[in-house]
Amino acid sequence: MDAQKLISSIGLVAGLVFLPGLVRTSFAIDRPIHSSIVVLAVCGACIIGLDRTRALKDTKSHRHRYGPIPLEDASDRRISGNRSVHGEENGSKQSPLSSLRRLRLVFLILVGALCARVEVLHQVAKGVQCTRGSYQPFLPFLLAVYDFAIIRRHRQEWKPDEEQNGSPFKQVFARLSRHRYMLVLSTLLLGLCSSLELSATAPPSSTYICATTLPTFTLVPAIQLLGLFLDALIFVLVFHILDLGSDSPQSNVNAPRIIGWAFLLSAVVWTIIGALVFFVSPDDRHWILTPDRTYLWSLFNLTLAVCITVLFAVSVASRSRPVSFSFLVVFTLTGMTALTSDWSQHIQNLGFSDKLNFVFVITIFVADILYAVIEMSAENRSRSSMKNMSGVPGWFLFSIAGLLIFRLLFGNPYLSQPSSHPIDTLIGRARSQHDLWKKQASSSKSLSDAVAVYRQRYHRNPPPQFDIWYNYATSRSSLVIDDYDNIYNDLLPYWSLSPAEIRQRTWEIIANPWSDAGGVHVRAGSLEISANMPGTHRWMVDGVTHIMEKFAEWLPDMDLAFNLNDEARVTVPFEVLEALKVTSSRAAQSKTPGVVGFSNERSSGWAPIPEQPIAESRFQQRSFQRTFYGFGAVGCPPSSRAQKERLWNVKDLCTTCAAPHSLGYFLSNWTLSASVCHQPDLADLHGLNLSPAAFKGSYDLMPMFSQSKPAGYNDILYPSAWNYMDKVKYAPSPEFPDPPFSNKENTIFWRGATSEGVSAGSGVWKGMARQRLVHLANNATTPQLVLLPQPRTNKPTYIMLEPTSVAAILNSSIRLVDGIARCGGRDCPDQTNEFGGSAPRSDFQHHWHYRFLVDADGAGFSGRFLPFLQSGSVPFKTALFREWYEGRLTAWRHFVPLDLRLHGLWSTLAYFAGVDGRSIGGRVGKWEARAKEAEDIAENGRKWANTVLRKEDMEIYFFRLLLEWGRLTDDRRDELGFSV
Ligand SMILES: *[C@@H]1O[C@H](CO)[C@@H](O)[C@H](O)[C@H]1NC(C)=O
């Protein structure tokens, strides 16, 4: 018996340790009701199935062990009658009939409670951004209060008899443990400490929007509270059933099996409700009929883990009392959360005082001792209808407490405060990074140098006409001659396709107007736009040909497909891409010497575009749908977090996702921050991932030229006509001048529309970056962690501030204009209510009045970034999309990078704009504005943009890209090349 008890306890604890991590990243929580049905049904079936075998054994051992000792049985019965709840007369033996009726009632209530709990889970998961703390640590307290109200109140103090002759210590112990308020007090203490501990170690809030104007704002915390009461109710009911079971060993009441049936029945109830929904909602029908492998696998894991834990829990519960059982559950969960919560370690250089933590751990430790006291006294008394043992070995709790203290003393990650400001470090680093980049990008001084460097970098000869390109570039004083890695990387996978295949696929795109692509035909140096192109985007392809005209005479005959949507189009799954890359690099590495020009007769290789559009397409329509797991992350390795984890809890800032590219709260590696593979939380943080306006994606390598793409997409980037055609332009005027930096307003400024994605009634606007930006600046309700000067020393330290205090020390003007765009259903009024009216439209040239300009991308790249760079203000750039010039600019030298999570916005602004904490009391010190650093970035950005991002640079890049493309599509591509 003892061994089994120990195994069950350890199994339960192991399950509790393992489960939270599994749940945190599980895809199954996206469908809480469906998942709950499966979990409940499987668990119910397991309990029933296992109990059948175990029950047999139990009966035997029961007879064998307790048969000869009728006295104990009788006394048990008496005590249990004494503490019974539903009011039958004290001490009298209940009739089997009334017992059965009572059981039926308890069973039905349990089913109802389980069903309600599923709905609570559903609501909380749906509104998780509005959850507040965790109420669950108060579960033992609730049960203790119940216990007190029903049982202890009526009981007299225990007479000290057998303890009289113990040691004085034992006597005090015994006396203390016997006190009638002891249980309530110690569980209350545990609840308080645990919830404080949890909130102290909880990660900071993300910028995901919990709209204060929506009912969820108050409803979700209320539902959380309801969940706590339901949990308590379920505990009480389960223990009642176990109790009744052990009360009447002769009446064939098999307690665990009844609990199993309750699980099963609640699954059935929800299935019936689900079936009704299934018939009315086509979305759900579609979802069920096309099961998703990731979801099923996640559900399988979750079900397995939950059921094993539940089985152990039932086993432990049948041997312990509700309070001590819930004590164990809560204690393990909190202890483990505290133990494993080292989020601040993940954002490096984030200093925290652990004094508070220390207090909490100590108090938990004390609660632990109190608990042990209670348990021991319970054993001493041997009062138990619940069997006279606790299910929880005291040594176990002590060892968890020991671990906590051990970690506190030896594994403390928090002690270091940042000694200097991280931005100082980052700016210094950026300077040397930029110098290195510049050197390698422009090392060659002659054509033969350039050819040699090309061979060395890209392991093959330059394309035909390279000498013409070289002259073109140098005559336009291009600084960048050597570094065209972006072209190389974009084209590399396409080397796995034969030239004929590439031509065929280009034809497939252009021949079907549904592809949303514009075709451009190059024939004998002149350009023609494909006739079947949709008219709305005419300006774009006109712009493209406008750039191409500059160098078209040297281009070989070919057709090109230009993406007319802002959104990117092509993602090749990781395994396929890896295989392609192997073939590609082999194909790309031929080094035949000599000058070989493009083939003649190329034009015949490109099939004419039919009058009648073709019907088939390899693109899949995914507009208004989530695209992260379907497209954005498919290029990531299967072992990467983006493929394995679903971070459904959008309330928490995923510090571990930001850590690889961060220094404290600041973005430290712009290149790495583009990769989604370590950032599964981005699934909920950008319009493209949540609900793009136009998304037609392909898993096949389709040769599509796009203006911008997130990392992981395989579109081919080309310089957008938007900037080339001056759709927005840096053009200060006497009316809107660009004043010297010191005369600009010390404010961060943004105006824009909600055009990042379409929120058509599903509430996804709460995650979109632009909305989060506006919300953070104007409507934030959660405290913000900001790197600020300490009160007296003015050293940088992370301080938690209320949003009103942040607004008092930092100036921002971040507003929406033009009402709410791209919305549908209730999301339109919801956003209008939350954000208030939109700001009046301001002239684009008004931007230069402000020192700091936010640049957030939208449905595609941000067209304003170049004008911002050219101005004398500092751009703060946050973006999922990357453009053709990626790599030319260095973050922290030419612009200030912001993480897409936006958590570092205030800290970054505080550094550059300065803060004076006097206006908000003594919590914050004073920093002068770092106007010199800011002005340096503005000036460096302006100069560099006028060196490497000119219109000439766009032509030069595009020219070289199309020469490479010409070779790639040439049947003799292995022989082609230029050499000197
Ligand atoms: C930034 O990340 C990239 C990609 O992982 C890496 O190659 C580069 O070395 C990193 N740069 C710095 C300064 O750490």
Burial class (CB in 10 A: 0-12, 13-18, 19+), 168: exposed
pLDDT in tens, 151-195: 665 554 444 454 455 666 666 666 666 666 777 888 888 888 788
Whether 375 shows a pLDDT value over 70: the answer reads no
Task: Encode 498-535 in three state secondary structure.
Answer: CHHHHHHHHHHHHHCHHHCEEEEEEECCEEEECCCCCH
Q: Does 425 contact ligand 1 (Cβ within 6 A)?
A: no
Higher pLDDT, 132 or 338: 132
Whether 688 shows a pLDDT value over 60: the answer reads yes
- The CA 493 to ligand 1 mean position distance, Å, reads 22
The pLDDT assigned to 926 comes to: 94
Residue of 688, 701, 553 whose CA lies nearest to 624: 688
Any idea what DSSP says for residue 736? S
Lowest mean pLDDT among 175-179, 428-432, 599-603: 175-179
Q: Does 669 contact ligand 1 (Cβ within 6 A)?
A: yes
Residue nearest atom 14 of ligand 1, based on CA coordinates: 669
Residue of 958, 877, 539 whose CA lies nearest to 727: 539
Whether 33 shows a pLDDT value over 80: the answer reads yes
Kindly indicate the confidence band of residue 572, based on its pLDDT and cuts at 50, 70 and 90: very high
Distance CA 795, CA 785 (A): 16
Kindly indicate the confidence band of residue 335, based on its pLDDT and cuts at 50, 70 and 90: confident
Predicted model pTM:
0.90
Most confident of 387-396, 592-601, 667-676: 667-676
Whether 377 shows a pLDDT value over 80: the answer reads no
Kindly indicate the confidence band of residue 88, based on its pLDDT and cuts at 50, 70 and 90: very low
Whether 197 shows a pLDDT value over 80: the answer reads no
Lowest mean pLDDT among 39-43, 148-152, 354-358, 506-510: 354-358
Whether 53 shows a pLDDT value over 80: the answer reads no
Residue of 904, 918, 965, 888 whose CA lies nearest to 664: 904
Task: Encode 326-370 in three state secondary structure.
Answer: HHHHHHHHHHHHHHHCCHHHHCCCCCCCCHHHHHHHHHHHHHHHH
pLDDT in tens, 932-965: 999 999 999 999 999 999 999 999 999 999 999 9
- The CA 669 to ligand 1 mean position distance, Å, reads 6
Report residue 255 CA to chain centroid gap: 42
Listing DSSP states for 808-823 in one string gives HHS-EEEEEBSS--SB
Residue 696: strand pairing partners: 621
Whether 106 shows a pLDDT value over 80: the answer reads yes
Q: Does 671 contact ligand 1 (Cβ within 6 A)?
A: yes
- Ligand 1 atom closest to the Cα of residue 669 is 1
The pLDDT assigned to 172 comes to: 67
The stretch 129-154 carries a mean pLDDT of 84
The pLDDT assigned to 70 comes to: 28
The pLDDT assigned to 742 comes to: 95
User: Hey, how many other C-beta atoms are within 10 angstroms of the C-beta on 867?
Assistant: 22
- The CA 430 to ligand 1 mean position distance, Å, reads 12
The stretch 757-784 carries a mean pLDDT of 94
- List own/partner pairs for 531-540 with CB under 8 A and 24 or more apart: 531/609, 532/609, 532/613, 533/564, 534/564, 536/564, 537/564, 539/721, 539/725, 540/564, 540/721, 540/722
Higher pLDDT, 165 or 525: 525
Q: Are 608 and 508 in contact (CB under 8 A)?
A: no
Distance CA 872, CA 936 (A): 10
Whose structure tokens read 């919990």? 210
Any idea what DSSP says for residue 766? G
Distance CA 914, CA 969 (A): 55
Whether 718 shows a pLDDT value over 60: the answer reads yes
Residue nearest atom 13 of ligand 1, based on CA coordinates: 669
The stretch 360-383 carries a mean pLDDT of 62
3-state SS assignment for residue 750: strand
> Of all helices (H) and strands (E), which one includes residue 620?
strand 620-621
Distance CA 259, CA 43 (A): 10
Distance CA 103, CA 389 (A): 24
Lowest mean pLDDT among 338-342, 459-463, 685-689: 338-342
Most confident of 137-141, 152-156, 911-915: 911-915
Q: CB within 8 A of 538, min separation 6: which ones? A: none
Whether 61 shows a pLDDT value over 50: the answer reads no
Q: CB within 8 A of 847, min separation 6: which ones? A: 749, 853, 867, 868, 871, 873
The stretch 666-688 carries a mean pLDDT of 96
Mutate to test the pocket of ligand 1, among 434, 672, 893 (most ligand atoms within 8 A of CB): 672
The stretch 559-582 carries a mean pLDDT of 92
Q: Are 722 and 866 in contact (CB under 8 A)?
A: no
Mean pLDDT of the chain: 85
- Ligand 1 atom closest to the Cα of residue 670 is 1
Kindly indicate the confidence band of residue 892, based on its pLDDT and cuts at 50, 70 and 90: very high
The pLDDT assigned to 69 comes to: 25
Tokens encoding 832: 């209008």
Any idea what DSSP says for residue 155? P
Kindly indicate the confidence band of residue 136, based on its pLDDT and cuts at 50, 70 and 90: confident
Distance CA 907, CA 911 (A): 6
pLDDT in tens, 798-851: 888 999 999 999 999 999 998 898 999 999 999 999 998 888 888 999 999 999
The stretch 93-113 carries a mean pLDDT of 81
The pLDDT assigned to 419 comes to: 75
Listing DSSP states for 208-225 in one string gives ----TTSTHHHHHHHHHH
Kindly indicate the confidence band of residue 637, based on its pLDDT and cuts at 50, 70 and 90: very high
Residue nearest atom 6 of ligand 1, based on CA coordinates: 672
Q: Write b or e for each residue in 736-761: b if 16 or more Cβ atoms lie within 10 A of its Cβ, otherwise e.
A: eebeebeebebbbbbbbebbbbbbbe
Residue nearest atom 12 of ligand 1, based on CA coordinates: 669
Mutate to test the pocket of ligand 1, among 671, 886, 893 (most ligand atoms within 8 A of CB): 671
The stretch 430-447 carries a mean pLDDT of 95
The stretch 377-389 carries a mean pLDDT of 44
Distance CA 650, CA 46 (A): 33
Q: CB within 8 A of 690, min separation 6: which ones? A: 626, 628, 683, 684, 757, 759, 764, 767, 768
Whether 273 shows a pLDDT value over 60: the answer reads yes
Residue of 751, 741, 772 whose CA lies nearest to 874: 741
Distance CA 788, CA 781 (A): 19
pLDDT in tens, 198-236: 777 778 889 999 999 999 999 999 999 999 999 999 999
At 323, the amino acid letter reads V
Domains for the chain: give ranges and CATH numbers.
32-57+99-133+204-290 (no CATH), 135-151+168-201+320-413 (no CATH), 727-955 (3.40.50)
Listing DSSP states for 191-204 in one string gives HHHHHHHHHHHSPP
Kindly indicate the confidence band of residue 407, based on its pLDDT and cuts at 50, 70 and 90: low
Distances (CA, A) of 360 to 199, 438, 652: 11, 53, 21
pLDDT in tens, 727-737: 999 999 999 99
Lowest mean pLDDT among 280-284, 343-347, 454-458: 343-347
The crossing angle, in degrees rounded to 10, of helices 70-82 and 216-247 is 150
